[in-house]
């Protein structure tokens, strides 16, 4: 489940937004993401705690933070992205979904 941190340039507050899928995230982005606090569209995505682990045989994407996952996604390495999505979707079955506000 993708999660992104945003900082609002209008009210200065930060927010974490969760999406049920990358498709939902794309749809939200296409429609314009707004600040949950003040409704401003002047918000920027913040990437926190980015520490990309060195590739290894026992690399587990399940333990990654959303920022790290984002890094993998934006690295454009199809093999890594596919493996990450596979692992994360496996995990997601065990996690109760929380409704998006």
Contacts with Zn ion, residue ranges (CB under 5 A): 8, 10-11, 35, 37-38, 40
| Complex with Zn ion: residue 10 or 87, whichever CB lies closer | 10
Closest distance to Zn ion from the beta carbon of 44 (Å) = 11
Question: Mapped to the 3 state alphabet, what secondary structure does 63-83 carry?
Answer: HCCHHHHHHHHHHCCHHHHHH
Residue 11's SS3 state is coil
Closest distance to Zn ion from the beta carbon of 89 (Å) = 32
Q: Would you call 79 exposed, middle or buried from its count of C-beta atoms within 10 A (0-12, 13-18, 19+)?
A: exposed
| Complex with Zn ion: residue 29 or 86, whichever CB lies closer | 29
Closest distance to Zn ion from the beta carbon of 40 (Å) = 5
| Complex with Zn ion: residue 35 or 64, whichever CB lies closer | 35
Nearest one of 26, 19, 14 to 3, comparing CA atoms: 19
């Amino acid at each position: 489940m993708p999660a992104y941190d945003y900082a609002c340039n209008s009210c200065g507050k930060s927010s974490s937004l969760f999406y049920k899928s990358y498709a939902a995230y794309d749809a939200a982005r296409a429609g314009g993401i707004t600040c949950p606090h003040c409704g401003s569209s002047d918000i920027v995505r913040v990437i926190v705690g980015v520490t990309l682990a060195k590739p290894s045989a026992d690399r587990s994407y399940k333990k990654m933070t959303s920022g790290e996952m984002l890094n993998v996604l934006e690295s454009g390495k199809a093999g890594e992205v596919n493996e990450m999505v596979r692992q994360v979707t496996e995990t997601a079955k065990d996690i109760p979904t929380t409704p998006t506000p």
